[in-house]
Amino acid sequence: MNDKHLEALLLCPTGQDAKLIASVLQHDSVNSKLTKDLDELCQMDYENAGVIIVAEEALTKEGVDILNEKLSTQNPWSDIPIILLTSGGARSKQFKMKRLEVFVTSGNVTLLERPLQPLTLLSATQVALRSRRRQFQVRSLLESQIEATKIRDEFISIASHELKTPLTSLKLQTQMTRRQIVRPEALLPDKMRKQLDYTIHQIDRLNKLVDDMLDISRINTGKLNITKTVFNFSELLYELIERFTPQFEAVGIQVKSDIAPHVFGNWDSYKLEQVINNLFSNAIRYSPHKNVTIGLRTQGDKAVFNVQDEGMGIAPKNLERIFERFERVSSVTSGLGLGLYITRQILDLHDATIRAESELGHGSNFIIELPL
Ligand code: ADP
């Protein structure tokens, strides 16, 4: 909240007072809203109110009660400053005696005796605006805390669910194996191998989830570091394609590749392996039974690596969102929504970029540009 948006709500100042107030507010670039009616003042929106300036004569006994009522409904962070312009004389004395105590104790009220002194008004207004700005700062801190807590709670619920799924099937798998041990005739090597492959797959899945969570905490604490060495990206890609082949085949993906042979660079090979892993895993999850094309080439002073699938695709409005933390935009997703966020963070550390091009229902292309 900056001063341009702060406004002063004025109740009934007239004549010289009104002129002086206007010039003080102008000095602070604060807009004002004037009313002659206390009810109207109470109905105003205090969302952007920086200070309320009230001429004492506009406050009837009922008026004080109404205003107090309104002030008592403020949010916990809000204590809107009020400057009350009083005057000497019998009426003012009476006012002070009877109602001031109630009014002052219920609000953040400063009394200014008239005739107003420019400097006194200026300093009272500035103190009021300063305290109001602080209140708005507290509000935005509170709001971001609430948002952070909401995100954390959602994450805990998603993470528990994602961890529970492989754990449940691991347990079932282990129970099945246990039953087979007591019935040796059921111990067929082929069946056992398949079961163990499945078990390893579930353990890998758990490992990836925990690794992602560890990476997120490293990113949050600024401890995600890279160690660069010169290596051949092409070789790393060949190796990973080979390693992933059984998984691609298991979901009926045909892989085509167009990889330039000697793309060397000074990068963190372990972290780039993680990036490739994420893109391959996503192709497996979001593009089964379709072609996936993997490309690597150099272009100027950059290496351009891309993974293109022909799967479900991503809606245009989500193309940037998917790189944010915890964003999962498809209903068939089974992840924490962290892979692409971590991928982008790793690439940032390499001064590299990643972007997605996609057409819903027709596939996606993830393109990475790394400085050579
Ligand atoms: P997750 O682990 O949940 O998949 P990611 O950060 O890797 O998290 O991806 C974020 C979201 O982006 C996914 O939940 C999915 O909705 C979408 N997405 C990622 N890759 C693809 C892809 N190749 N095709 C379609 N949607 C994708």
The string of pLDDT tens digits covering residues 253-312 is 999 999 999 999 999 998 999 999 999 999 999 999 999 999 999 999 999 999 999 999
| Nearest atom within ligand 1 for CA of residue 328 | 14
Q: How many residues are recorded in the chain?
A: 372
What backbone torsions phi and psi does residue 307 show, to the nearest 5 degrees?
-125, 115
| Nearest atom within ligand 1 for CA of residue 311 | 24
Query: Which of 57-66, 70-79, 228-237 is the least confident region?
Result: 57-66
The string of pLDDT tens digits covering residues 107-146 is 788 989 889 999 999 999 999 999 999 999 999 999 999 9
Q: Indicate if ligand 1 lies below 6 Å from the C-beta of 323.
A: no
Q: Indicate if ligand 1 lies below 6 Å from the C-beta of 311.
A: yes
What residues contact residue 129 under an 8 Å CB cut-off, 6+ apart? 3, 6, 28, 30, 50, 51, 81
| Nearest atom within ligand 1 for CA of residue 286 | 24
pLDDT at 268: 92
Domain boundaries, the chain: 7-140, 143-220, 229-371
Pairing outcome for strands 81-86 and 108-113? parallel
Look up the CATH superfamily of 7-140: Response regulator (3.40.50.2300)
CA–centroid distance, residue 285 to ligand 1 (Å): 8
What does the block give as tokens for 304? 């351009």
CA–centroid distance, residue 145 to ligand 1 (Å): 27
What residues contact residue 337 under an 8 Å CB cut-off, 6+ apart? 158, 325, 326, 327, 328
Max intra-chain CA distance, the chain: 108
The CATH number of domain 229-371, selected from 3.40.50.850, 3.30.565.10, 3.10.580.10, 3.90.76.10: 3.30.565.10
pLDDT at 100: 64
Q: Which of 307, 331, 333 to mutate to test the pocket of ligand 1 (most atoms within 8 A of CB)?
A: 333
Angle at 53 between CA 48 and CA 57, to 5 degrees: 140
> Domain 143-220 is of which CATH architecture?
Orthogonal Bundle (1.10)
Q: Is the pLDDT assigned to residue 151 strictly greater than 90?
A: no
Amino acid letter, residue 186: A
Q: What is the mean pLDDT of residues 27-48?
A: 88
